[in-house]
Amino acid sequence: MREGSRSHHTGAAALTVVAVLMGVSAASARPVSIVNGTRTAMVALQVRPSDAPVWRPDILNHRPLGIQKQIGFEVGPACFFDVKAMFEDGHRINKQHVNLCKSTTYLLTDF
């Protein structure tokens, strides 16, 4: 197997695992990305549909997300999500009612 091909399969497998952990069926799953638009590395990231009471497991899975880097994952059919992130300097960001249908890439900033 070529190296690039292995990387693609690993990424696809990781998205599938995240989708399963989030309770997203393969038929309704759609890819989205969150970009760390802050000045600090992100150490934890959780999302939930805005009408859900429980946060999903940490998407970063204990792997920091650097400044201006992005993480891709899959979500279900809902459009509006709450996003919670924690950073290596200890600050946290909570965004509510983020429309992930409007754009599949969301820039998470301090503002």
Residue ranges per structural domain of the chain? 3-108
Q: Which of 39, 41, 37 is nearest to 60 (CA)?
A: 41
Q: pTM of this prediction?
A: 0.75
50-64 pLDDT, tens per residue?
999 999 999 999 999
Q: Does 44 score more than 50 pLDDT?
A: yes
- Mean pLDDT of the region 10-25: 45
Give the homologous superfamily in CATH for domain 3-108: Domain of unknown function DUF5300 (2.60.40.2890)
Q: What is the pLDDT of residue 111?
A: 81
Q: What is the pLDDT of residue 56?
A: 95
Rounded distance between C-alpha atoms, residue 60 and residue 56, angstroms: 11
Rounded distance between C-alpha atoms, residue 11 and residue 62, angstroms: 16
70-87 pLDDT, tens per residue?
999 999 999 999 999 999
